[in-house]
Chain A
Amino acid sequence: MNSILTLDNVSMTYYTKKTRTEAIKNLSFDVKQGEFISVLGPSGCGKTTLLSLISGTLRPTSGRILLDGAEITGTSTDVGYMLQRDHLFEWRTIYKNITLGLEIQHKKSKENLEHCDRLIEEYGLKDFVRHYPSQLSGGMRQRVALIRTLALSPKVLLLDEPFSALDFQTRLHVCDDVYAIIKKEGITAVLVTHDISEAISMSDRIAILTARPATLKRMHRVGLGHVATPLMRREAPSFSAQFETLWKEVAADG
């Protein structure tokens, strides 16, 4: 399989008036087409910075990031971004939230709107298109946020702790929901999280980062691809052993 996303010796340094912070140092890894990768690391290790670099909202200090063979030099609709909260626009209806990206891109063509309609229908949002976000539950809102991102047909989807604002019950449910949609649409995903069980239950591979400046400590292969859903993976025999290993590795850096 081909790599769709390649990080090649990426470093990122922030400058402020008084300090200079090395957030990421010589980070390299590949993500294959259709793969689900999690990035796990101690808090404040530069995980969100990594996603900003891939999304093109930040440029690396050195190194290159390639998407489908081309270097990322700015934001593009090839990369979709899902944040910690759903960040739906409260003053827009669900339909207008979903088509926000197309509206910004001036790409509200018949074809693209049909793609939106298919997603809306397929993922059970048809009855809510005229509702406002405040009328939806947390899990439903997160689904709308995902569909809003998918409406732009991204090649890679970035997820920045997208479930952290939800309560535990909802989180497990939404996790399954989002996973199923991503797999069905065949999208490559990079999830940033500090939740080890979430990482194991969703990913094919897990990139474990060191404390700041973040660099790749180890690439962990989960090997639960044969189990259908994240929730079922939590029941898998090797789950707790993997958890143990990863927990020690992440905790070692504190």
Chain B
Amino acid sequence: MGEYIDKRHESFLKKNKRHKILVLTAQAGVLAVFAALWEISAALGWIDPFLMSSPSRIWNTLAELYADGALFYHIWISLYETILGFVIGTAAGTAVAVIMWWSRSVREVLQPYVVVLNSLPKIALGPVIIVWAGTGQKAIVFMAVLISVIVTIITMLGGFMQTSPEKILLMRAMNAGKLQIFTKLVFPSNMSTLASCLKINVGMAWIGSIMGEYLVSRAGLGYLIVYGGQVFQMDLVMACTIVLCLLAGGMYFLVALLERFMVRWQS
């Protein structure tokens, strides 16, 4: 009987593994087929490679960029702006959310402003940012912060406010003060909120930095994309877009790893 169950278990595990391999293969397959079709279409003249580019041309462009050291120079600049915006935006947004949780008056006063700022397309503030922060990296980081900070405030405050009232009552019955209620209950119980906020902000910070680079910069992936578009070098545009995909995906992956650590008590 035991052996029988073990065999069933084994086949279950095998099935699971087979499924995983199937999904991974299919995922790689989609990419390969897409790239192959694109390459063939360009080679046979079905599409104009000057307008649509092609995988091989993208690859060559990347190799050239790498050879003259431009690739990592631009990657580093964009990455620096994004990470700085991400960190400042998340930290500042969380700090504001803490203050708004703490004081009902502050919360009620600020609420409409947060709602309006959230709906406002931040790019509309571009000219203002340029005038205030100049046309350098400061303006780009400012844009990344601006985009991530509001959504952070809303998400974190929402999490804080949803803390179980019974648990708060329990803390109060144990004679806990407001600071203890925050540090021992409200904040730790919102670790998963913070984690999803970080995930959202990866995207937000990239939008901010690339948008900022479109507006003002002389370097970075966003700059290369705009430049490529202006001089009709679609190979450059496509190459940079792909690098951007890889960077954003990698950053999201790191945040997902961090999340696993943050909510490690969930098993």
Assembly CA distance A135 to B264 (angstroms): 13
In the complex, per-residue mask of B48-66: 1 if CB is within 8 Å of any chain A CB, else 0: 0000000000000000000
Residue of B nearest to A135 (CB): B267
* Best-buried of B171, B174, B188 by chain A (most CB within 10 Å): B174
Assembly CA distance A135 to B169 (angstroms): 25
- CB of B188 within 8 A of CB of A85, answer no
Residue of B nearest to A133 (CB): B265
Interface check B155, CB cutoff 8 A = no
Report chain B residues within 8 Å CB of A75: 172-175
- CB of B169 within 8 A of CB of A103, answer no
Task: Pick the residue among B174, B189, B266, B267 that contacts A101 (CB under 8 A).
Answer: B174
- CB of B175 within 8 A of CB of A105, answer yes
Report chain B residues within 8 Å CB of A132: 265, 267
Task: Pick the residue among B164, B176, B266 that contacts A87 (CB under 8 A).
Answer: B164
Assembly CA distance A80 to B169 (angstroms): 12
Report chain B residues within 8 Å CB of A90: 189, 265-266
Q: Number of B interface residues, CB 8 Å?
A: 21
Query: For the complex, would chain A's binding face be called helix, strand, loop or mixed by DSSP majority?
Result: loop
In chain A, positions 44-67 with a C-beta closer than 8 Å to chain B are: 52, 55-57
- CB of A87 within 8 A of CB of B172, answer no
Task: Pick the residue among B164, B176, B265 that contacts A104 (CB under 8 A).
Answer: B176
- CB of A76 within 8 A of CB of B175, answer yes
Report chain A residues within 8 Å CB of B170: 81, 83, 87
Assembly CA distance A79 to B263 (angstroms): 32
- CB of A104 within 8 A of CB of B169, answer no
Report chain A residues within 8 Å CB of B11: none
- CB of B184 within 8 A of CB of A104, answer yes
Report chain A residues within 8 Å CB of B184: 89, 100, 103-104
List, sorted by A's number, 16 A–B pairs whose CB atoms are closer than 8 Å.
A57-B172, A57-B173, A77-B175, A83-B170, A87-B164, A87-B166, A89-B167, A90-B189, A91-B189, A91-B191, A91-B263, A104-B175, A105-B175, A132-B265, A132-B267, A134-B265
How far apart are B151's CB and chain A's nearest CB, in angstroms? 24
Total cross-chain contacts (CB, 8 A): 61
In the complex, per-residue mask of A143-155: 1 if CB is within 8 Å of any chain B CB, else 0: 0000000001000
Task: Pick the residue among A77, A83, A91 that contacts B169 (CB under 8 A).
Answer: A83
For the complex of A and B, the 7 pairs showing the least CB-CB separation, nearest first, are A81-B173, A132-B265, A104-B176, A101-B174, A91-B265, A55-B173, A91-B188
Q: Number of A interface residues, CB 8 Å?
A: 27
Report chain B residues within 8 Å CB of A83: 166, 169-170
Assembly CA distance A80 to B265 (angstroms): 27
Interface check A112, CB cutoff 8 A = no
Report chain B residues within 8 Å CB of A56: 173
Interface check B185, CB cutoff 8 A = yes
11 additional A-B pairs beyond A57-B172, A84-B166, A105-B175, beta carbons within 8 Å, are A52-B169, A77-B174, A89-B167, A89-B188, A90-B265, A91-B265, A100-B184, A101-B174, A103-B184, A104-B176, A134-B267
Report chain B residues within 8 Å CB of A84: 166
Interface check B111, CB cutoff 8 A = no
How far apart are A158's CB and chain B's nearest CB, in angstroms? 8
In the complex, per-residue mask of A117-144: 1 if CB is within 8 Å of any chain B CB, else 0: 0000000000000001011000000000
Interface check B16, CB cutoff 8 A = no
Report chain B residues within 8 Å CB of A104: 171, 174-176, 180, 184
Residue of B nearest to A52 (CB): B169
Assembly CA distance A87 to B188 (angstroms): 14
Report chain A residues within 8 Å CB of B173: 55-57, 75, 79-81
In the complex, per-residue mask of A66-109: 1 if CB is within 8 Å of any chain B CB, else 0: 00000000011101110111010111100000001101110000
Report chain B residues within 8 Å CB of A101: 174
Assembly CA distance A83 to B189 (angstroms): 18
Residue of B nearest to A103 (CB): B184
* Best-buried of B164, B265, B267 by chain A (most CB within 10 Å): B265
